[in-house]
Chain A
Amino acid sequence: MDFLVNFFQALRWQDVLDILLNSYILFRFYVLFRGTNVLRVLFGLACIWFAQRLALSMGLIVSSWVSQGITAAAALIVVVIFRNEIRAVLQTKNIKAILWDLPQKEVTTPIEVISDSVFEMASRRIGALIVIPGKEELEEQVQHGVDWRGHISKEMIISIFWPDNPVHDGAAVISGNRVREVKCILPLSKREDLPSHYGTRHRAALGLAESTDALVVVVSEERGKVTVAKDGLLQPVYHPAELERRLRNHFGVFLKGRPGIINESLEIVLASVLSVFFTLGIWMSITQGLDSLASFDVPVEYMNRKTNQEIIKASDDSVELQISATRSLIRTVDPDQLRVRVDLSKAVIGRNSFVLTRENVTLPPGVILKNLEPERIDVTLDVLVEKELPLQADWVGSMPEGLLLASARLIPDRVVVIGPSRMLENLQTLYTEEIPVDPLTTSDSMTVTLALNPSVKLAPWLENRVNIDYQVQPREPL
């Protein structure tokens, strides 16, 4: 419980922003790369990183060092290996899609229609080559054919590949629920281990599957067989249902109601929550693990003192605060941000004792109070009163030889002062500032000020000025 209290006390708005920002970045990574191997590798890297933190906390020096090295090297390797995926994400999606668009996973491509069309063509021995792009762009691999932009239908697909159709030669590229292009030329695979019954269509399908994440459906004109090329592999498909399954897998879509499959929106929510927890874990492991202590001597501020009261004596003018925070934060702590306040609203005239608690201390966000010394402060209060006091000149120095200062008349000779009653009780005379007598050779006058105790003030209507008329006389020999 104390841990949670301390945790929330230490949490600054900057930390919350930090966690949310990084959680969102992590979530976007998931959204952009889900379904690819990048995410799996990143998850593996995260595991290694946690293992490194664990090894570090347990004092396993070599393990920590090795896992740290792997993490650092793996980050570089990931960029190299998955450069295509990363490039695809950055090239194919605009800023809006990268930053905040949620993936549209609706099935827009009529899978059943494609499947039926393919097997219909197979039964009729009509050769066909259908490209269904993945996440990667095909601009560099596919040579453009003829723009088609027709809504997919069984009849249209069959008509495209109908032998007498001028565009039947080449590949049709499907995008969403439309045939985007026809008569496209695909790169040919250079593999030499392909079965002899595979023709140019198969080689073209494999060529594209080797270089991109596209799925290519091939219908053999000679044998009436259906083959799917995906991820550099050619696999025969014997039933429409099997082709549908492969197409659904390619689109990353699962059939509703299938056991063990989660709803997509639930998946997004779960991913976002996990992102927050994951980032929170990283944040805590970084910040909480680097706690450091520091001591500051902070002056005590007395609040809500009644106007007629004066502090006569305080057992301590300052309090030593021992605070804890992250190393980076503690370096930025300004002593002016630390405050110790004592509420005098309920104090009485005389001696008052205050026990200092955390409530008396104000700390910047993220800083935790570990200890304070002293834990109690005694404050003696007094009431302010007025008192009329006589004035006296405070002469210093030495009179010139043969002269004496016979008399001096102070104007005014009495003043009213305001100060703590106990102090004024013992104060019977108010002295001027020190006045050197050395230059006094003749009778004259001067203006001086009063030497006032900091706790004692002149009445508001008085000026701190005293005129002195003094008489200098020759000194007679005794």
Chain B
Amino acid sequence: MQKFKLEPMMDKIWTCIGIGLAALVLWAGTGFSTAGAQSESISEATPPPGPAPEAIAPGELDVEDMQLMIGAASVCEAVKNGIPRNEAIVFSISLGRVYCFSDFLAVPQQTFIYHHWYYQDQQRASVKLLVRPPRWSTYSSLQLRATDVGPWRVEITTEDGSVLRTLRFSILE
């Protein structure tokens, strides 16, 4: 903890290194997720905004005691500046794309989470997303086709398959 109390110059250097590493890992994660997508209608999230807007300073969390904790999660019409827009449970197919946004309040360590997209109990896509400590928000999206009208759900799971949240919605004509 003493280390974070060095002079401002060192803080800037560490911050630059951190941002650089984060960008590198994010780029790698983007490649992974896209590869993991099982449907052309799915595109992985555009690079998430990284730390959530209300990011907690790393020094304020006890990393060893933390568990991966999901906060807000929703299906929405768009994600702008890391914020979901027009969260809803029904979407017109004319939108062309819907988004699944998930905000992780506590991330103990860098890990992957999954967004599994199901159409009437049949899995249509699975998107692997990177989340990083201490807090992270990320999203995936579904490109809509004419045959996608009907009930859907997105299961947000950990890497080992534990379901963190299930979001249910419908695509309307």
Seen from chain A, the residues whose Cβ lies within 8 Å of a Cβ on chain B are 390, 392-399, 404-408, 426-429, 431, 437, 475-476, 478
Using A426-B121, A429-B121, A478-B77 as known contacts, say yes or no to A392 and B153 having CB atoms under 8 A apart. Answer: yes
Using A406-B88, A406-B89 as known contacts, say yes or no to A394 and B170 having CB atoms under 8 A apart. Answer: yes
| Inter-chain contacts of A398 with B (CB < 8 A) | 92, 172-173
Interface centre among A404, A437, A475, A476 (most CB of B within 10 A): A404
Are A405's CB and B121's CB within 8 A?
no
Binary CB contact string for chain B from 99 to 141 against chain A (1 if under 8 A, 0 otherwise) = 0000000000000000000101100000000000000000000
Check B168 for interface membership: any CB of A closer than 8 A: yes
| Inter-chain contacts of A392 with B (CB < 8 A) | 151, 153, 168
Smallest Cβ-Cβ distance to B87: which chain A residue? A406
| Inter-chain contacts of B86 with A (CB < 8 A) | 404, 475-476, 478
CB contact between A405 and one of B77, B85, B89 (< 8 Å): that residue: B89
| Nearest 3 interchain pairs by C-beta | A395-B170, A404-B88, A405-B90
CB contact between B153 and one of A429, A437, A476, A478 (< 8 Å): that residue: A429
Are B90's CB and A399's CB within 8 A?
yes
Task: Report the bound CA distance from A408 to B90 in whole Å.
Answer: 10
Are A396's CB and B172's CB within 8 A?
yes
Q: From residue A132, how far is it (CB to closest CB) to chain B in Å?
A: 105
| Inter-chain contacts of B172 with A (CB < 8 A) | 395-399, 437
Binary CB contact string for chain B from 75 to 90 against chain A (1 if under 8 A, 0 otherwise) = 0011010000111111
Smallest Cβ-Cβ distance to B166: which chain A residue? A390
| Inter-chain contacts of B92 with A (CB < 8 A) | 398-399
Using A394-B151, A399-B172, A428-B121 as known contacts, say yes or no to A405 and B88 having CB atoms under 8 A apart. Answer: yes
Interface residues in B59-81 (C-beta closer than 8 Å to A): 77-78, 80
Task: Report the bound CA distance from A405 to B74 in whole Å.
Answer: 13
Seen from chain B, the residues whose Cβ lies within 8 Å of a Cβ on chain A are 77-78, 80, 85-90, 92, 118, 120-121, 150-151, 153, 166, 168, 170, 172-173
Smallest Cβ-Cβ distance to B155: which chain A residue? A428
Task: Report the bound CA distance from A399 to B94 in whole Å.
Answer: 12
Are B85's CB and A476's CB within 8 A?
yes
Task: Report the bound CA distance from A399 to B120 in whole Å.
Answer: 21
Interface centre among B77, B85, B90, B121 (most CB of A within 10 A): B90
Q: From residue A395, how far is it (CB to closest CB) to chain B in Å?
A: 4
Task: Report the bound CA distance from A397 to B93 in whole Å.
Answer: 11
Are A395's CB and B89's CB within 8 A?
yes
Task: Report the bound CA distance from A407 to B77 in whole Å.
Answer: 14
CB contact between A478 and one of B85, B87, B89, B151 (< 8 Å): that residue: B85
Smallest Cβ-Cβ distance to B91: which chain A residue? A404
Q: List 6 A-B contacts (CB under 8 A).
A: A392-B153, A393-B89, A406-B87, A407-B88, A431-B151, A478-B85
Task: Report the bound CA distance from A393 to B172 in whole Å.
Answer: 13
Using A395-B172, A398-B172 as known contacts, say yes or no to A407 and B89 having CB atoms under 8 A apart. Answer: yes
Task: Report the bound CA distance from A163 to B116 in whole Å.
Answer: 138
| Inter-chain contacts of B153 with A (CB < 8 A) | 392, 429
Task: Report the bound CA distance from A395 to B75 in whole Å.
Answer: 15
| Inter-chain contacts of B77 with A (CB < 8 A) | 478
| Inter-chain contacts of B87 with A (CB < 8 A) | 406
Using A393-B170, A394-B170 as known contacts, say yes or no to A437 and B90 having CB atoms under 8 A apart. Answer: yes
Task: Report the bound CA distance from A399 to B92 in whole Å.
Answer: 8
CB contact between A395 and one of B80, B90, B118, B120 (< 8 Å): that residue: B90
Smallest Cβ-Cβ distance to A398: which chain B residue? B172
| Inter-chain contacts of A407 with B (CB < 8 A) | 88-89
| Inter-chain contacts of A396 with B (CB < 8 A) | 170, 172-173
Q: From residue B148, how far is it (CB to closest CB) to chain A in Å?
A: 14
Q: A395-B172, A399-B92 are in contact. List 19 more A-B contacts (CB 8 A).
A: A393-B151, A394-B151, A396-B172, A396-B173, A398-B172, A398-B173, A404-B86, A404-B90, A405-B88, A406-B88, A426-B121, A428-B118, A429-B120, A475-B86, A478-B77, A478-B78, A478-B80, A478-B85, A478-B86
Task: Report the bound CA distance from A408 to B89 in whole Å.
Answer: 8
| Inter-chain contacts of A394 with B (CB < 8 A) | 150-151, 170
| Inter-chain contacts of A475 with B (CB < 8 A) | 86
| Inter-chain contacts of B173 with A (CB < 8 A) | 396-398
Task: Report the bound CA distance from A138 to B168 in whole Å.
Answer: 109
| Inter-chain contacts of A404 with B (CB < 8 A) | 86, 88, 90
Q: From residue A182, how far is it (CB to closest CB) to chain B in Å?
A: 114
Task: Report the bound CA distance from A398 to B95 in whole Å.
Answer: 12
Task: Report the bound CA distance from A406 to B90 in whole Å.
Answer: 8
Task: Report the bound CA distance from A393 to B170 in whole Å.
Answer: 8
Task: Report the bound CA distance from A437 to B149 in whole Å.
Answer: 14
Smallest Cβ-Cβ distance to B95: which chain A residue? A478
Q: From residue B155, how far is it (CB to closest CB) to chain A in Å?
A: 10
Task: Report the bound CA distance from A427 to B170 in whole Å.
Answer: 18
Task: Report the bound CA distance from A426 to B151 in whole Å.
Answer: 16
Q: From residue B165, how far is it (CB to closest CB) to chain A in Å?
A: 13
Task: Report the bound CA distance from A405 to B168 in whole Å.
Answer: 12
